[in-house]
A = this chain, B = another copy of it.
Amino acid sequence: MATSPDSLQSRDAAEELRRCADSIDAQERGAEMHGLVRELYPICRSITGDGLRQSLRILQRIAPLQLREVPSGTQVFDWVVPREWNVRSARLLGPDGEVIADAGRLNLHLLNYSAPFRGKVQLEELQRHLHSLPDQPALVPYRTSYYKEDWGFCLTHELRNRLQPGEYEVQMDTSLAQGSLTYGELLVPGAQADEVLLSAHCCHPSLANDNLSGMVLCATLARLLAGTSPRYSYRFLFVPGTIGSIAWLALNEEKASRVAHGLVAACVGDSGMLTYKRSRRGDAEIDRAAVHVLAQSGQEYRVRDFTPYGYDERQYCSPGFNLPVGSLTRTPHGEYPEYHTSADDPALVKPEMLVDSLRRYLEIFEVLEGNRTYVNLSPKCEPQLGKRGLYGSVGGQSHAVASQMAMLWVLNLCDGTRTLLDVAERSRLRFSELRRAAEALRRAGLLAEERGRKQ
């Protein structure tokens, strides 16, 4: 049972990733990530347009992602890439000329994808173009109208209630024109062609947790991975939600078929507990790796079954693809009160939460990289670990220490039918402990990697 080069590499990569996760300087890394969130926050992004391009170019400072352009009108499965939308300014003035809403101050005030319009409307007609939150009257909502041509403004319900009858002036200086949809793509190549997909949506304007946190996390992951030699190739997609992932899937079906594992990253900066949403498959290796990492994190966490609502996992997990793609967030979409409102601002995102999320993503990669099938070469009774210096010499104590238990579990369960993740789930020991035990046993000649088995 010879060891193939990529096996050696992957063993090293898993250890590299472990050390990477362990050696993060939380303060420095957190400050850097949060700084990026603040820098990206004011830009008016949408599913197309210059705000999106500008945001992706800022991320290029962190990781060398490439910008791809898909022309308006391109058919992508059941959808058509819409006209490109850009905003010069958008203001709503009151009967006395006072500024009611100004996208220049907060781009959420603008109904995203509003068509250009200039004119005066009475309050009654204007109301049909206003969006506010009766239950959260002090917040401005985030609303869009991508596929029905419309214009509108979003404002606080408090302000809306104070609007007086009269004539309002709409200065909607936007454009909808032939152009393209932009997305960012980056491949960190590994020893294998099989890919790990990381996807973040980039279309939301001034919303910090949803999803500047995910964009910054993915860019940071890409930078850290570039310093390692992984077994898998890692593909990062920075896409406008829904239409962006659909466009990528439609134009890259062959690449999609190489996705062995995937995660959709979003809402990774708030103070809530980590939440893993399973892939449609439910028990894919990524599902098990993520749940193992969360279970061993020592923190509270949530695991949810797949539902066909949420982020771009909806597309990756559509039945025609059914990719093993889950989603790791902190508080899920729609479950925190600031969601899709002006309260999802950089203050909602905490540097230490960004770093904690980053660590868990790295730990999941460690599991994927190190998850191999081994076979005990001395399967009849336990081998004598003591004579190899792998076991304490004084007997009679009540419990074996963790590293010895890890060796005993690996020896007992590794019969060529189980991966290390299987052993981790069964033993409830940490994957890294088992991975290192396996490596010690392998070096002692007691264990070999099983060839020809998919991990």
Contacts and interface: CB of A to CB of B under 8 A. Distances in A.
Interface string A394-428: 11111110000100110111110000000000010
A396 B144 contact: yes
A380 B412 contact: no
Given A395-B146, A405-B309, A315 B400 contact: no
A79 B385 CA distance: 10
Given A280-B412, A308-B409, A340-B396, A380 B147 contact: no
Contacts of A112: 396
A79 B386 CA distance: 10
Nearest to A76: B381
| Residue from A319, A400, A415 whose CB has the most chain B CB atoms within 10 Å | A319
Given A380-B318, A382-B318, A145 B250 contact: no
B146 A380 contact: no
Contacts of A250: 380-381
Contacts of A408: 308-309, 314
A305 to B, nearest CB: 8
Contacts of A246: 381-382
Q: Taking the full assembly, how many copies of this chain does it contain? A: 3
A246 B264 CA distance: 50
| Residue from A307, A333, A395, A408 whose CB has the most chain B CB atoms within 10 Å | A395
A379 B322 CA distance: 10
A396 B143 contact: yes
Given A144-B395, A308-B408, A309-B408, A381 B321 contact: yes
A317 interface: yes
Question: What range describes how many residues of A lie at the interface?
Answer: 35 or more
| Chain A interface main SS type | loop
A335 to B, nearest CB: 8
Interface string A117-156: 0000000000000010000000001111111101000000
A387 interface: yes
Interface string A369-394: 00000001011111110110000011
A148 B393 contact: yes
A142 B381 contact: no
A382 B316 CA distance: 10
Nearest to A404: B309
Contacts of A5: none
A314 to B, nearest CB: 6
| Residue from A112, A307, A317 whose CB has the most chain B CB atoms within 10 Å | A307
A339 interface: yes
A197 to B, nearest CB: 15
Contacts of A141: 396
Given A145-B394, A318-B380, A320-B381, 15 more contacts: A77-B378, A77-B381, A78-B378, A78-B381, A112-B396, A144-B394, A147-B384, A148-B394, A308-B413, A315-B381, A319-B412, A319-B413, A319-B415, A333-B398, A340-B398
13 contacts: A76-B381, A77-B378, A78-B378, A147-B384, A148-B386, A245-B381, A307-B427, A314-B382, A318-B412, A320-B380, A334-B398, A340-B396, A340-B397
Q: Which 3 A-B pairs have the closest CB atoms?
A: A320-B379, A320-B380, A308-B412
